């Protein structure tokens, strides 16, 4: 496993383990299997309704807590200073942890839902997160689904720059403008939905490149993400695929292959946009 150094000096693995929709026994087992297979970075969120399962999986894995990077997120219904602090306490209780390694704002407040006060709502959540970091309850703080306008507004009052911006990023929808804007600020980008909601499977471009490298399509997608300097958090509940998704550091995509994948037409887009929630666009 290779690590990325965040702008706060903390290290984070380039491949993590996503837990979205992995709940109850399936969630516990997948987290335990992931940790025992070599993953050291877990991603969950209050909205996923599985923090208790992730915590139990950590416990059952036998892997020391200090070796594991754990992420959770504050949901968009808790966009205030006090609610953010309460939300973190609840996440820690469910996870059976004393601290989080990474805490994110799951979605930004926007004008549609907060009117002229949207900037202040994000700023108040961020102020709470800065305080939680100062108190030692969170090691790194970041955002998710923030576009340039949300980052610019946040940085007007922020004392701490976000370490991470987790965005939808996969072949067929990779938001190059958000990627460049974030990276130019020294903010590490992290990919959610790296397999495009399953749409990468059967894609002719990816299949040809996979055949050439004698790798799977999922490994090609993950390698493409990593070579963009982006962290990936693939999710699987199958032990074989959990292990397979780690095996992306023994080959490299050429510049031409990267460009081919960059140029794949839109596919697998979730339809979720930070300025339109709670509604989403029709999914492709």
Active-site positions read 48
DSSP state of 208: H
Residues 6+ away with beta carbon under 8 Å from 214: none
Measure the CA–CA gap between 248 and 223, rounded to whole angstroms: 6
> With the CA atoms of 17, 7, 259 and 200 taken in that order, what torsion angle do they form, in degrees rounded to the nearest 10?
20
Residues 6+ away with beta carbon under 8 Å from 7: 161, 163, 186, 187, 188
Structure tokens at 263: 């140029």
Residue closest to 195 by CA, chosen among 158, 241, 162: 241
Give the number of other Cβ atoms within 10 Å of residue 4's Cβ: 17
DSSP state of 73: E
Measure the CA–CA gap between 95 and 100, rounded to whole angstroms: 9
Structure tokens at 242: 């959990």
């Amino acid at each position: 496993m290779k690590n990325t150094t965040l702008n706060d000096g903390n290290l984070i693995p380039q491949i993590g383990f996503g837990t979205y929709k992995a709940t109850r026994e399936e969630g516990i087992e997948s987290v335990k299997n992931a940790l025992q297979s070599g993953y050291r970075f877990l991603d969950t969120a209050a909205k996923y309704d599985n923090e208790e399962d992730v915590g139990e999986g950590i416990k059952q894995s036998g892997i020391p807590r200090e070796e594991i990077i754990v992420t959770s997120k504050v949901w968009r219904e808790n966009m205030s200073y006090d609610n953010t602090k309460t939300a973190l306490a609840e996440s820690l209780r469910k996870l059976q942890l004393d601290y989080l390694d990474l805490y994110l704002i799951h979605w930004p407040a926007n004008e549609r839902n907060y009117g002229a006060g949207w900037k202040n709502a994000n700023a108040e959540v961020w102020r709470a997160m800065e305080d939680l970091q100062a108190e030692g309850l969170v090691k790194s703080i970041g955002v998710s689904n923030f576009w340039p306008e949300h980052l610019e507004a946040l940085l007007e009052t922020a004392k701490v720059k976000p370490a991470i911006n987790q965005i939808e990023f996969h072949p067929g929808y990779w938001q190059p403008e958000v990627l460049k804007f974030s990276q130019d600020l020294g903010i590490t980008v992290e990919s959610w939905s790296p397999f495009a909601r399953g749409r990468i499977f059967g894609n002719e471009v990816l299949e040809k490149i996979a055949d050439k490298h004698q790798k799977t399509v999922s490994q090609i997608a993950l390698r493409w993400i990593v070579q963009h300097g982006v962290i990936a958090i693939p999710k699987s509940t199958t032990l074989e695929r959990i292990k397979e998704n780690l095996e992306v550091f023994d080959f490299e995509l050429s510049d031409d292959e990267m460009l081919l994948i960059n140029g794949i037409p839109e596919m697998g887009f979730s339809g979720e946009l930070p300025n339109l929630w709670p509604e989403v666009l029709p999914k492709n």
